[in-house]
Chain A
């Protein structure tokens, strides 16, 4: 009895002393600023900054190899805090948000075949370029939704990805996952977007989608300073100064949408400044 207590106690004592010495001898110097920055970062390890995780980014900032304004999930607040820790002036990066440039869900866009395979856009894209006739539209099988670390993407009941602008941090994970490059990064301040990704001619687009851009040039005629047509697809010049909203009502296929008044149909998200729906409207 006594022998076993002494033996175990002895082992414990020896291990405690050995570990104590090792901890002192092999201690790694950590810059206190690094720990402070890690505290401030969101901790999502999303990789938007270009580092594999928040720890790596904190280290890179302290080492001076990366600027402190690359954390888009953290936003302006985080950037300011980091700048304070580092004792530099906060230079806010232009915040960007992701937008799904497509409205062609399973009701509005035609299908080539019935897809019964894996619930994954990248897998579906391998089978005859995906079940949608349109070669550029959203497949709606939710690869981006699963890739989003912030839970900002929803797939509507008719198979279309919708991004919640309040939750999106601009980390670009969804952009990297989408096999059809439907998701584009846009300035967070811009709320008017062309929701189509098809570069086919108008007649072709009409064949496969009710809400695709047919390159009719009406938006360009309405506000030539902000809208251009490239490859049979309208584009908004976010940097230009002009009446972006003027073309929203005139677009014949309604592919130019103003997010401050409404999201594409079928979304359960509520647009930031949308007027509250009356019970009749909601039903």
Chain B
């Protein structure tokens, strides 16, 4: 097999065996759904319902505020019982709408789909935004923004991200096996919106069944499938573009600069639903896995389901949880509590016990340079981290700290367990703050 890849990166033990063979199951309804208003990058949505309002599944409950923003919808039918700040996956209390389900789980009748062939490009984009579609790989960037490049940028390739390079996560893998048709339908809609012909699906070689299924289904539609070497962070946009097309996105620019748009496979399925059925993004596949989960699963979860409820569906915990991560172990967000809800960007829920975690004391840098070897954007993590520790942010910026994608390869590989990516993040924040004040 011809396996493409990029320079740098590494392959941590992937732990995919916990849930890779588990078919997607529908998660039952919890006692209440907590739907945060900030579920995407950009301006948070604005609530448009009040306590006591009766909603159906898919009813609009919060409006988009600005261009880089999407609306939010009820993820089941029921009654709004609170509009108040609740603990958000980001670790602080943020505004949320709490819905008490009525158990019927009935879709809003006013939602009607359409044949994508009958709609023009602007209407397709409008419907994608109205359905609240965001990048479902975890970064939750509003999809309609990616589909609206300035006219001078010529897009020629759509890349489908089926890489799922984060260890433990298997949600995209299962979707490619079970929702193949929906994903490919979404790809065709995207090709129409972008006005291009070429689409490539990138899948890592550790998912041979997904490669086979997708190749078989994609061949008649003239969509390519590209097998990729198993390596993290290949699912990062710029690394994926490098791996598949050999083009390198210049520092400080977006993929459109080299004529490429990248979309996650889950996003494509959501786009298909949004157009054909008129259904907004109210549920997603989440991998509930990790050594502390009794029975790891891939669940189709309604947005707003509390994490504790998801754990209960998977046979509970077999030990004291020491670390709860939403997303993947490399770039996911550590959770302070299982009360937080699953949101649109929740690709996984990982729970580890104390004995599963490595020791964490840092030692001095031994100048081995391994962080430099694995950095997928060829930075010098130790140098930047050193400047960050001394608060020398101009020097850190000179070493391109802002180009860091925070993948954590440097921290993972560091034999002295130095908090390298944390230091660089700190430097990035300080550099950005300085830029804003100037």
Contacts and interface: CB of A to CB of B under 8 A. Distances in A.
A113 B257 CA distance: 41
10 contacts: A112-B336, A116-B419, A122-B426, A122-B429, A123-B426, A126-B425, A126-B426, A126-B429, A127-B334, A128-B90
Interface of B: 90-92, 334, 336, 360, 388-389, 391, 419, 422-423, 425-426, 429-430
A122 B430 contact: yes
The 9 A-B pairs of least Cβ separation, nearest first, read A128-B91, A123-B426, A117-B422, A129-B92, A117-B419, A112-B336, A116-B360, A113-B336, A118-B422
A120 interface: yes
A127 B334 CA distance: 9
Nearest to B418: A118
Contacts of A135: 92
Interface in A97-140: 112-113, 116-118, 120, 122-123, 126-129, 135
A118 B423 contact: yes
Interface of A: 112-113, 116-118, 120, 122-123, 126-129, 135, 146
Given A112-B336, A123-B426, A118 B91 contact: no
Contacts of B90: 128
Nearest to B362: A116
A128 B360 CA distance: 20
B422 A123 contact: yes
A112 B324 CA distance: 13
Nearest to B422: A117
Contacts of A118: 388-389, 419, 422-423, 426
Nearest to B337: A112
B364 to A, nearest CB: 15
Contacts of B430: 122
Contacts of B391: 146
A128 B389 contact: no
Given A127-B91, A128-B91, A113 B334 contact: yes
Nearest to A122: B426
Residue of A118, A126, A127 with most chain B CB atoms under a 10 A cut-off:
A118
Contacts of A120: 426
A129 B429 contact: no
B92 A128 contact: yes
Nearest to A129: B92
Contact of B91 (A112, A117, A122): A112
